[in-house]
Amino acid sequence: MNQQITPTYRPLYQQIKEALLARVVAGEWPPGTFIPSESALAEQYGVSVGTLRKALDALANDKVVIRYQGKGTVVATHDSDRSLFQFFRLIGLDGSRCLPISRVLTRERRAATHEEAGMLELQKGEDVVHIRRIRELDDHPALLEDLVVSATRFAGLEREPAPLPNTLYHLYQQRFGHSVAHAEERIFAVAADAEHQAHLGVEIGSPLLEIRRIAKDLQDTPLEYRISRCETQHHCYFNEL
């Protein structure tokens, strides 16, 4: 492993990090499996264990892998924990974390709209799978969600087993081999319409939180575009700066 992959200087441990990341992305070590030990990898790349440690620490920092003292290093999965703490930011007014229960309303395959194609970086005319569901928090309907994914990337999602799991990212990873690594959210305040009245039991025109999320994989490929509308009488969006 030489120091000059490109003419510009890059630290060795960063090159190792990228090499390891490439192997994760390539599927050599599927999510949930243990990767080789530090000493074994250090020997493979011909670097010191300290250098390899720094690469693994950086990957752990990015939540690509998780390290367990005495056991080894595993590729990160979408356990309920991760989906809940990293990607679900709604909490009760008292600060309690409540786990959502999903109920699917519609599920269909159709052509992507112009906006969806742009968000998901799809070719002209590609299909998407569109899922609409409501999510209950504390036995009370709180969210109306519309989400779309590429129908080619997630082939057959519209025919998946009836009760979709309420942690969809786990399904993406298990069934389709696509892991959501991070996401961007843009939040707006909007007025409720008749649909929200019907499903969430709020007045037409009452204020709702609208959360537009683009979920991406390790290579920044957009996997899912999701719009959630949330009633904030009983819950709120929480963020730490």
Partner DNA sequence: TACAATTTGTGCGTATGTATA
Partner DNA sequence: ATATACATACGCACAAATTGT
Asked if 229 contacts 213 with a C-beta cutoff of 8 angstroms, the reply is no
Tell me which of a second copy, DNA, none is bound by residue 87, counting a contact when its beta carbon lies within the kind-specific cut-off of 5 to 8 angstroms. a second copy
Residue 163 contact partner, candidates a second copy, DNA, none, CB within 5 to 8 A by sort of partner: none
Which residue matches tokens 């992959």?
5
The pair of structure tokens assigned to 184 is 């961007």
- Select from DNA, a second copy, none the partner in contact with residue 220, using the beta carbon and a kind-dependent cut-off of 5 to 8 Å: none
Contact 170, 160 (CB under 8 A): no
Q: Position of tokens 């056991």? A: 71
Rounded-to-integer distance, Cα 45 and Cα 39, Å:
10
Q: Can you say whether residue 182 is alpha, beta or left, with left for phi > 0 and alpha for psi between -120 and 50 degrees?
A: beta
Among 19, 51, 86, 136, binds DNA (CB under 7 A): 51
If DSSP codes are grouped into helix, strand and coil, which group holds residue 185? strand
CB atoms within 10 A of CB 3: 9
Contact residues for a second copy (CB under 8 A)? 86-87, 89, 91, 182-191, 205-209, 230, 232, 236-241
Q: Does 79 bind DNA (CB under 7 A)?
A: no
* Beta carbons within 8 Å of 85's beta carbon, 6+ residues apart: 97
Smallest distance, a second copy to C-beta of residue 192, A: 9
Residue 72 binding target from DNA, a second copy, none, CB below 5 to 8 Å by type:
DNA
Considering beta carbons, is residue 50 or 156 the nearer one to DNA? 50
Q: In whole angstroms, give the CA distance from residue 153 to residue 167.
A: 19
- Whichever of 218 and 236 has its CB closer to a second copy, that residue is 236
48's contact among a second copy, DNA, none, with CB below 5 to 8 A by partner kind, is DNA
Minimum distance, C-beta of residue 63 to DNA, in the bound complex (Å): 14
> Which residue's CB is nearer to a second copy, number 129 or number 208?
208
Chain residues in the site for DNA (CB under 7 A): 3, 9, 11-14, 35, 37-40, 47-51, 53-54, 56-57, 67-73
